[in-house]
């Protein structure tokens, strides 16, 4: 009837008309009542922010008001149709999202600015000033100055500090050195070095019967797990152990001369290292 108020949703209206001759006509139709469409508004929420370090993750999430609630998403220059965009920009990048709700299209965009990439360099020097670093020698590890803090990782040992240098003592084998430096913007730069550390030098002359000189070959040099073998020129094994050779074989002092040795050691990465050389015996 004129003036009727329909509820939200769909209502079927049916009219039936009869005349005096009982002729009947039926009229039926549907009335749909819906909320008026709300404007579709899209904004992009950027995390952590629009100014980031090179390669830092950026998450762009749409904040949508209005629309029908049935949305499709298209990101510019990318085959990406999900609502959330995750990226790792290396350079300044423009992002644009198009949202369609079946009736209206809306767009939102964001410019991500990427900070300059910081650089840090490691330098490793021996206290002796020699180019070759020997076992047990003090070394200075220095990184580029000007960063807020530094994380040094030396053979898996971590030290975090604000100074750009540390000292350490070289261990036999590989010296594995890393640094991660953080600048004022929170951006991190890194560098990496592998230093080969030679075994410390040792005396290759022994004088078993002369006081004040080296009487035992490699005495105090060998550690647990090391093994020294000493042979004469005929290949006879004169000594095997890790306490050092005193020049004797089965209680008898060997003749003056040159003898061959094989030294088995494990470095700081538990890798077996074999050294061969000669030792001279003086009486």
Q: Where are the beta strands (DSSP E) in 66-137?
A: 72-75, 85-87, 93-100, 105-114, 122-126
Q: For residue 175, with 0-12 CB atoms within 10 Å meaning exposed, 13-18 middle and 19 or more buried, which class applies?
A: buried
Tens-place pLDDT, residues 212-224: 677 899 988 888 8
Determine the Cα–Cα distance for residues 5 and 181; give it in Å rounded to an integer: 71
The CATH code of the domain at 122-197 is 2.60.40.10
Tell if the pTM clears 0.85, that is, is over it.
no
Please name the fold of domain 1-117: Immunoglobulin-like (2.60.40)
Tens-place pLDDT, residues 232-242: 999 999 999 99
**Closest CA relative to residue 99, chosen from 76, 121, 79:** 76
- For the chain, the structural domain boundaries read 1-117, 122-197, 205-281
The rounded mean pLDDT for the chain is: 89
Q: What percent of the chain has pLDDT over 90?
A: 61
Tens-place pLDDT, residues 264-280: 998 877 888 899 999 99
- Give the pLDDT band (50/70/90) at residue 32: confident
Tokens 């008309």 belong to residue: 17
pLDDT of res. 21 = 73
Burial 3-18 (b: 16+ CB within 10 A, else e): eeeeeeeeeeeeeeee
Task: Tell me how crowded residue 60 is: count the other CB atoms within 10 A of its CB.
Answer: 21
Tens-place pLDDT, residues 82-136: 999 999 999 999 999 999 998 899 999 999 999 999 999 999 998 887 778 888 8
pLDDT of res. 214 = 77
Determine the Cα–Cα distance for residues 204 and 29; give it in Å rounded to an integer: 112
Average pLDDT, integer, range 47-55 = 94
Tens-place pLDDT, residues 178-208: 999 999 999 999 999 988 887 778 889 999 8
Joined tokens for residue 201: 């030098």
Q: For residue 90, with 0-12 CB atoms within 10 Å meaning exposed, 13-18 middle and 19 or more buried, which class applies?
A: exposed
78 contacts: CB under 8 Å, gap ≥ 6: 85
> Do the domains 1-117 and 205-281 sit in the same CATH topology, yes or no?
yes
Architecture of domain 205-281: Sandwich (2.60)
């Amino acid at each position: 009837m004129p003036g009727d108020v329909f509820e939200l949703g769909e209502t079927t209206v049916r009219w039936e008309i009869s005349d005096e001759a009982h002729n009947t006509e039926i009229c039926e139709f549907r009335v749909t009542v819906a909320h008026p469409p709300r404007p579709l508004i899209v904004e992009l929420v950027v995390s952590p922010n629009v100014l980031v370090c090179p390669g830092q993750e950026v998450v762009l999430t749409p904040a949508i008001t209005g629309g029908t609630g049935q949305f499709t998403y298209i990101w510019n220059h990318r085959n990406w149709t999900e609502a959330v965009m995750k990226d790792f920009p290396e350079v300044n990048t423009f992002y644009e999202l198009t949202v369609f709700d079946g009736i209206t299209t809306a767009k939102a965009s964001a410019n991500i600015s990427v900070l300059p990439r910081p650089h840090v360099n490691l330098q490793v020097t021996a206290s002796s000033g020699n180019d070759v670093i020997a076992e047990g020698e003090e070394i200075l590890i220095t990184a580029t100055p000007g960063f807020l803090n530094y994380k040094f990782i030396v053979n898996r040992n971590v030290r975090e500090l604000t100074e750009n240098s540390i000292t350490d003592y070289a261990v036999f084998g590989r010296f594995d050195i890393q640094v991660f430096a953080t600048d004022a913007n929170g951006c991190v730069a890194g560098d990496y070095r592998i230093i080969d550390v030679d075994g410390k030098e040792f005396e290759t002359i022994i004088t078993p019967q002369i006081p004040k000189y080296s009487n035992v070959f490699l005495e105090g040099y060998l550690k647990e797990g090391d093994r020294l073998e000493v042979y004469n020129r005929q290949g006879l094994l004169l000594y095997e152990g890790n306490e050092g050779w005193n020049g004797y074989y089965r209680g008898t002092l060997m003749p003056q001369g040159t003898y061959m040795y094989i030294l088995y050691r494990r470095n700081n990465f538990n890798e077996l290292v074999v050294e061969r050389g000669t030792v001279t015996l003086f009486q």
